[in-house]
Structures are given as C-alpha cells and as structure tokens.
Chain A
Amino acid sequence: MSQDVVRIDDYESVRKALYHPALSRTLDRRSFEEGNPRAGILSLLHGDEHRERRRLENPLFRRQALVDYEQVLFPKVLAEVLDRAAVGAVDLFDLAGSATVVLAARRAGVDHDGSPEQLAELFEHVKVIAQAAAIHDVVGDKDAVQAEAIALLHRFDEDYVLPSRRRREALLDAGGEAPYDLLTEALRGLRGGDATFADHALLVREVALFLHGGSHTSAQTLCNVFWFLLGLDGPGPRTGWLERVATSRLDAQKVVHETLRLVPTTPEFKRHAEDDAEVAGCPVSRGGTVALDARAANRDPELFGAHAGTFDPDRSVRDDVPLWGHSFGAGPHICIGRSVAGGLPLTGAQLRGGVGEAHLYGLIALMVQEIAARGVRTDPARPPQRDDRTSRGSRWLHFPVVFPEAGR
C-alpha cells in the first residue's frame, strides 16, 4: 500500500478534491474504527452510507429552523447568558460556549436544566470531545486523548443521553409531541424500521458530535474574531470595526466570514484515497493521503485580492466565491451546521450587490454584535492563551476579556 501524501493548496483544486468521490475521511483504523470515540459518526462515513445519514439528518437544518434559531431562540439565550456573565473579567471562550451549547443541545436532543452549572458542565464535556474530534492534530499522547473521550462518553450517556432518550421514548409511547431533534428523529426512525441507530452507543457518539459541532467551533471562531477586532494581531483595537459590528449585523457577519477565511477551524483537510485516482491533475494511489491546505487556498490572491493575508472584511471577492472560502469545506462533507453558525455565504456578488430580506446572518455574528455593543476590551492582566495541545493553531484554551462592571 502506498504511503504517498499529495498536497494541494490552490483554491479551485482544493474545491475539486473536496468533491472527489474516491476520497474519504476515513484515514486510519486506529482513529476511526470500532472502540474509539468517533466510530460510525456522520462526518467519517463515505459513499452510500454517508449519503443516507445526511438524508436523515439534513432536515434538522431547514430554513424555518435556522430562522427560529437566529431570530427567536438565540437572541433570548444570548441575552440571558450575557446579562448574567458579561460583567468584569471573563473568559470569552467559556462565555460563548455557555450560549452556543444551549442551541447545540436542543438540536442534538440533550436535555438539561438550563442552570449555569449544567451549561458549564456540558461545555466542559464538549472540550474533551473536541480534542478527540481532531485526533490527527493532537500534540502529545493520542491514546490518552482517546481514552479520556471514551470515558467521558460513558458519563455523558448516563447523565444526559439516557435520561433524554427515556423522556422521548415515553412521549412517543404516549403519542405525545416529542421535541424535534436528532435524538427524537433517531428514535422515530428505529420505530419505523430504520436500524441506523439500533446501537445506542453509536447514537451517543452522534449526539456528542452534534453537541460538539454546534458549540465548540462557534466559540473558538468568536475568540478569533475578537483577536482581530481587539487588534491582538498587532495594530491595536480596530475601533472603527468594533463600532460597525455593534450596529450592523451584515458588518458583523462580514467580520466573521473574513476571520473564518484567515483562520479556518480545520486548516488542513486530510483525505484517504479509497481507489487509485487523479485528483486535480495529480495521480494518487489507493491508500494514499491527500492533504488539502484550506488556509493557503483561502489566501489565493486571484480570488481574494493582492493582500489576501490581511484582515479586511471590506475586501473584494470574485463573484462566485464565498468570503469564508473553504472554511466549512465543500462537497458531500461540507459542515452540516454551517448555516447555523455562519448564516448564508456572502459571495463576491452579494458583497457588492447586497443581500435580500431572506438572508441569514448566523449565530456567531449575533454574538459578535452583542458582545461588541457591551463594550468588550482586552484584559491587560491576562493575555489570551492558545491551545497548544493541538497543532491546528486556530484554537484557544482561554480568551480573557473585560466588560464594563455596570454592563452597558
């Protein structure tokens, strides 16, 4: 078996590779097969199995759900979290996690009592799952990370998933209306003869994926946004942009998408060749690895301008290209929750011509807007601390900030 690694870093070639049917995300048995914390989850499936799982789960992300999240549910959740916690010195990462985990839990089907303690506990669980989710980028003992995640999933099941499942089973038995979420839909499927989630342990892993995917990345991206807005990349606070995002949701979204472009959550997509193939003009042997450099592709000057490596949310972008570049991936494995987190893409044409009334801005933009409006500043006593347990370079361990003591 070949051990080739083919590297691709230009935007169009990365896009073609992300659509290539011979490339899967199943990189090695050690990380992804039975007995590990990610076995069988949506993001690692391939081909027909992946297609069927997507068909099952995509309905959770329809327009009406997105509108409800963005216009009804999240503004209320965010206001509650910020009113309670956005005072004085706080960790922006945990603050954002406490807000995003509420909606992620709702979509996954994880019941909780809404207390700050339970939300914090759920987000601590998410942090452990996030380490295992990026296992190839772990710096240090990968087996220890896997073992910690497996132990966590057992506790998560006992404390949250099993009780949530029993409530839904009881509601379905009684003919009542169960919440619309992944867990309920999986149980409905089982009752209808779809055995996808007959293995409860797989269902726990899938619920954990939804909880992690719906909260951790958004909280990390929010920190990256304020890394730029507070000028921690060098120039000092970008006061003009802080004012603009506080008053314009579209500007807040542009800042989010520009940040995602420069700091993609997954800087490099790794793919496994299931067959001999030609990928963007390069021959790849069966069993070989293709490394797709999203960070480099997102800085392609042909598409994003001569100063593609700098932070400029007002930049001009080619008409058919989204400002966020490849940050959510593309093709069959594109991030299933991208419209929740980032709203609808802003293409070059929309950046010039404007967006319509049906446009969606995403939950991160809502957070950026509200947090900027509340006067967030850097904490002079505590600089942000990167998460050096991963080689991704896009993650924070802590992001201390300061809010005015008296609120707004």
Chain B
Amino acid sequence: MAGPDTDDRDGTDDRDGTGDRDATGDRDGPGRHAQRPPDDAFERYVLPEIEVLLRVAHSITRHHAEAEDLVQDTLLRAHRSIGTFDGRHPRAWLLTILRNTHINRNRRRRPELLRDPDGAEERSMAMEAPERTDDMVDRMLDHEVVVALDALDEPFRQVVDLVDVDGLTYAEAAEVLDVPVGTVMSRLHRARARIRDHLGRAGVAPGGPS
C-alpha cells in the first residue's frame, strides 16, 4: 500500500476542498481519465477490495447489517462509475465512494439514527472475543487498552479503528474520513498518547506511570 506523505504534518493536502459529495469521488475533472479502463476493470479493481470495504464499513457504522448494505451501495456506485476510473489507487477510490455513500445514506435518515445505540452492544460483543495472550499482564494490558479506547471521543476513536484495528494507511483513513492526512496523524497520535497515559495510570505500561 502506498504510504502517505510523512511531511504533511500541518494538515494540508492536495485536495480541492470543494466538498463535492459526488459518490464516485471523481474530483479531478475530465482530463484525468485519458485511458479507457479495461473491460474487466470491475472484477480487477473492485471485487478484491470487498473484504476491506466491509471491515471499514463496519468501523464507521458499527453495525453488521448496515455495513453490508453500505458496501452493496458502494459496489453499485463503483460499477456505475468504473468507466471513468483510471485504475490508479483502487482502494482509495473505493474508500472515497464508500465515505460519500455513507454520508448520502445518512442524509436520508433521522438524525438520531446516526448515533446507533446498537453500536455499543456490538462493541462489547466484539470485546468478548478472548484475546490470545501469554500471561496475565498481557491480558490486563489488552483490557486496559480497550477501556481507554472506549473512553476516546468519536473522532479519535474512529482514526484508531481505521488505522490500528482495520490496518489502513494514514492516507486511506484520510480518504474515509474526508480529512487531510495531517489531521489523521494528529488525531491518531493524540489518541494513542491518551491510551498510553491510561496504561500508565493503570500501572500496566512497561514504563510504569508516565
């Protein structure tokens, strides 16, 4: 996966910032797509990303059925616009479609559904999955990491979920959240620092209390 520009520490990036919610994520104008995509572009670029899309969809919806519906809509929109896709960075392209589709879907809902109460239940169910650890200290540390993660404000938690849990790069997480890479980095680093401070206070950090 392509890494982000690590010098982008001040929150700037190269996007046009139009706020266009065109679900295809096509922000660069007609000149970008000089080459016609291959006939099997959808199979080649989109189908292999279904699992990643579903994982990310679950992170942003916190609901399995909702995540599946979101990915289905994303696939549909990707299929409709595959003819204008230039084949570069398919995952980033798809994550942009997924994000815009998610925003469009939420616009059609009641605002109270945006904060899905089932999410908390699902999170606690996810936590019930026993982690394989070697000893009690590791288990305590893992437990305290989860406690600290749940205490994070949503924007910080989202970034941790996307990068540390789902394994996206900074740049890919920036696509999902529609924020500059620098913002992803800053939120992520602050979130981890809060988790680290919590571990220090709980007495389970290798270095002890910070």
Asked if A and B are interacting partners, one says no
